[in-house]
Amino acid sequence: MENYQLTLQSIHLFAVVVVCIVIAARALTLFKGTQGHLPNPAGRKLFVALQHASMTVLVLTGIVLLYLKNFEVQSWFYAKLILFAVLLSSLSKAYRKTDTVFLTQRRAGLFLAAVAMLGIIGLVMIKPNFG
């Protein structure tokens, strides 16, 4: 059981690293070779695939880890989940397919996603005790 948990945590962490790399690499498509209000189309399919796959692995391993912990979480964990929702929604805004989203709004979405990610990393490192 212990070993199992360690393996899952490693996969969880690996997915975090992949997510961070993909977010950073894809961020460039909002700055270089943009087409009107749309991001640079180069590598779009690969970015979408990697982002979806790594986020899915992150969520699935997270859920199994929760189960192994019998869902006994500290209060900061709820903040982590809220920030994760912020992360997903701001990334989906940043890369929405339609050109109704201005480039400035996309970059704002990317910025918010980065803040949410740093917030999550801060939370899991510090594990603050709220009240």
Residues in touch with ligand HEM (CB under 6 A): 9, 12-13, 16, 19, 58-59, 62-63, 65-66, 69, 84, 87, 117, 120-121, 124
**Which residue, 10 or 104, has its beta carbon nearer to ligand HEM?**
10
Q: How far is the CB of 39 from ligand HEM (least distance, A)?
A: 21
Instruction: For residue 73, give the 3-state DSSP assignment.
Output: coil
Residue number, 16 or 27, with CB nearest to ligand HEM: 16
DSSP 8-state symbol, 128? -
Q: Are 110 and 66 in contact (CB under 8 A)?
A: no
**Shortest Cβ distance from residue 111 to ligand HEM (Å)?**
16
User: Number of helices and strands (H, E) in the chain?
Assistant: 4, 0
- Residue 39 is classified by DSSP as P
